[in-house]
Chain A
Amino acid sequence: MEQILFLTHTEKDGALGKLALEALSGALKLTQELDGSTLTVGLVGGNVQPAAATIAGCGAGAFLGVTGEKFAVSRYVSDAAAFEALVRRREPSIVIAPATSRVSRALPGVAQRVGGRIDTHVTGLQVEGADLRIERWYYRQRMLAMLTREQRPWFMIIDGGTFEAWSGASGSAVVESVVVDLPALRTRVVGEQAATGGAATIRPDAGLLFVAGAGWTKKQSDGQAHIQEAEALILDFLRKSGASLGSSKSLVDQSGEGQEVLSFMTHLNQVGQTGSTPRHPRGLATCCHGEEPHVVGWRFIKERRAVNLDPNCGWAQGKADVLYVADAFQVMAKVNELLRGD
């Protein structure tokens, strides 16, 4: 029997995000499968009442909330204090939370404060009898482990895509307010900004990940680099297809090697060893060799295709479903032409 606390925060519009609703599904699964368990929802935000109302029908036994202007923004000191207060109020044995940047920043410190343990990037929850087991990846998505823990409270941050987002009837929820005494704040959140001044190229909900490898910026068959042509082709494709843009190599690595970089590419586009591990249903790699440090970021991309001039590149070694041995400049120009005709 476990006391389960589902912790999350509201988004800027006061609603719950998709990741939060997915993690809620995970919390509900555990509540149902672990006999005698109870579920409490803990919410943090400027005003959590509307969010609580949207999940009023989820079956939680109680709703707790930390609210106020200082909790409307994402900041370690206030978020950690809010999550800690909710944990101390409920004294759960299991804490489930979504893998948002806000939760991922603050929750590990809360686990430390209350003497608990935390597992992040959880991609599966399994109940065997009275035992709870989780799945998570190690060595950057190279090996998958199933593990359990003796310690409580056990905090788990659930990766996106692990569960279907909860959907159900809204209603009225009575939210018990939990008061938090914050220390004097030394950090002010002054805003947010896009990684580049241009068009947003990272679209987490896109159906396609388009990876532009370093080959786009290297000398082509005529002995010249064609950066502007590459930029035009890629941006045209992103506009027409709605794809999300990824890079195969860290921008800092490329610039450190004195290599020209695509002007709209940012640090945040990188996929792989020191980049992201996105979850798009399809991925198309171009001018990228498919080496292991990059491909570890493709672990959750279901359908994979690549365009590369080298028939023996990494993609040909069982890492892609289809490898087109061709010039990506020519292929993508034709792809754009076909998309234009639609």
Chain B
Amino acid sequence: MSSGFHIVVCGSLVPDPLQTLEPIQGPAGPALKNEMMLPSVLDPWAAHALFEAAGPKARLQQLMMSVAQKVPFELVALDGPASGFSDAYEVAEPLATAIEGIPGLERERLLVFGGCASASRDSGSTMQMVGERLGIVDQFVAVDKLTVQADGTLQLLERTEGGRYQVSVCDGPPAVVAWATGELPEPLNNPQVGMQNMRAIMPALQQAKPAAVGAQGMSFLRVEVPRQRRDTRVVKDLAVAEIASEIVEWIKG
């Protein structure tokens, strides 16, 4: 096997998690109020995948201005809705097609990375479907660690129940790796990397292919933000011993 991997990281943009989100009924189904005005971030799970590896066009450009300063990469952009109300099946199709269309991609060196879920749909399905569409049956989901071993095999830690990891060894690429949070922190901004990236990103954005992503066959009967505001009792002037006593009594039920 020739050295090095061809790593493709799939990702999308999502509304900044600090924003208040309100659903509305749009012409093609549910949407978010003022969706085009909401500040976006790279989906956090996808960001972890990108850092471990190394939407609408206008907002994607804005997003890339910040993400591009983190790690060097080449961008293949798809111009389509990033709504959480779209169907994973319909998202997977253009992603797989775009990956197949990357010039010079070698299947025997291919690792397809992405987040194990999105902060919008939270389906946890898209990466498996992309893998199936590409004919890749060695797939790993909720991965926190990937180690390339001395013999070239890949050791992966996948999250399972009860705070445990399953340890697997894969012979090598091709494989799909849907990341959880990984182990690497968000890299600091590097203006040189940003300049290098942006030279290629701008043409890629201009050439972004339209992606028809929706939710055919799905009918949303209701989308609402449940009113779960609690009547909070704020206890300010109680002695520590009394607070502790209240808590212990509460814990014991």
A residues neighboring B (CB under 8 Å)? 74-77, 80, 100-102, 104-106, 108-109, 111-113, 117-121, 133, 137-140, 142-151, 183, 186-195, 200-204, 207-208, 241, 243, 250-253, 255-257, 266-270, 273-275, 282, 284, 291-293, 296, 303-305, 307, 311, 315-327, 330-332, 334-335, 337-339
Q: Mark B116-134, 1 if CB is under 8 A from A, else 0.
A: 0001111111101101110
Which of B167, B171, B221, B245 is within 8 Å of A338, CB to CB? B245
With A108-B129, A138-B120, A139-B120 already in contact, the answer to whether A186 and B138 are too (CB < 8 A) is: yes
Determine how close the nearest CB of chain A comes to the CB of B55; give it in whole angstroms: 15
Closest B residue to A281 by beta carbon equals B253
Tell me whether A138 and B122 are in contact (CB under 8 A). yes
Using an 8 Å CB-CB cutoff, how does the interface string of B185-202 with A read, 1 for contact, 0 for none?
110000000000000000
Is B80 interfacial (CB 8 A cutoff)? no
Q: Are B21 and A143 in contact (CB under 8 A)?
A: yes
Q: Which of B163, B168, B184 contacts A190 (CB 8 A)?
A: B168
Interface centre among A119, A252, A332 (most CB of B within 10 A): A252
Contact A101 B161 (CB under 8 A): yes
- Give Cα A327–Cα B234 distance, bound, in whole angstroms: 14
Q: Do B248 and A339 have beta carbons less than 8 Å apart?
A: yes
Per the CB 8 Å criterion, the residue count for chain B at the interface is 89
Nearest-neighbour CB distance to chain B for A105, whole angstroms, equals 4
Q: Which residue of B lies closest to A128 (CB)?
A: B221
Cβ–Cβ < 8 Å partners of A316 in chain B: 232, 234
In angstroms, how far is the closest chain A Cβ from the Cβ of B246?
Answer: 8
**Interface residues as binary, B151-162 with A (CB distance below 8 Å gives 1, 0 otherwise):** 000010111111
CB < 8 Å: which of A74, A104, A144, A190 contacts B124? Answer: A104
Interchain nearest-CB distance for B89 vs A (Å): 6
Contacts of A269 in B (CB 8 A): 163
Is B234 a contact of A325 with CB atoms below 8 Å?
yes
Chain A residue contacts of B231, Cβ below 8 A: 318, 321
Inside 8 A of A147's CB, which chain B residues have their CB? 218-221
Cβ–Cβ contact A138 & B121, under 8 A: yes
Report whether A318 and B232 are in contact in the complex, using a CB–CB cutoff of 8 Å. yes
Interchain CA distance A285-B213 in the complex, whole Å: 40
Task: Tell me the smallest distance from the CB of A293 to a CB of chain B, in Å.
Answer: 4
> Which residues of A lie under 8 Å from residue B172 when comparing CB positions?
186
User: Quick one: which of B92, B155, B163 contacts A194, CB cutoff 8 A?
Assistant: B163
Asked if A267 and B144 sit within 8 Å, CB to CB, the answer is: yes
Instruction: Point out the residue from B159, B171, B217 that lies within 8 Å of A268, measured CB to CB.
Output: B159
Inter-subunit contact A338/B244 (CB<8 Å): yes
Contacts A113-B132, A187-B138, A334-B244 known; 12 new A-B pairs at CB < 8 A: A75-B168, A101-B161, A112-B129, A139-B21, A144-B226, A241-B251, A252-B48, A269-B163, A307-B247, A315-B232, A317-B232, A323-B234
Assess the B141–A318 pair: CB atoms within 8 A. no
- Is B28 located at the chain interface by the 8 A CB criterion? no
List, in ascending order, chain B residues with CB within 8 A of A250's CB. 181
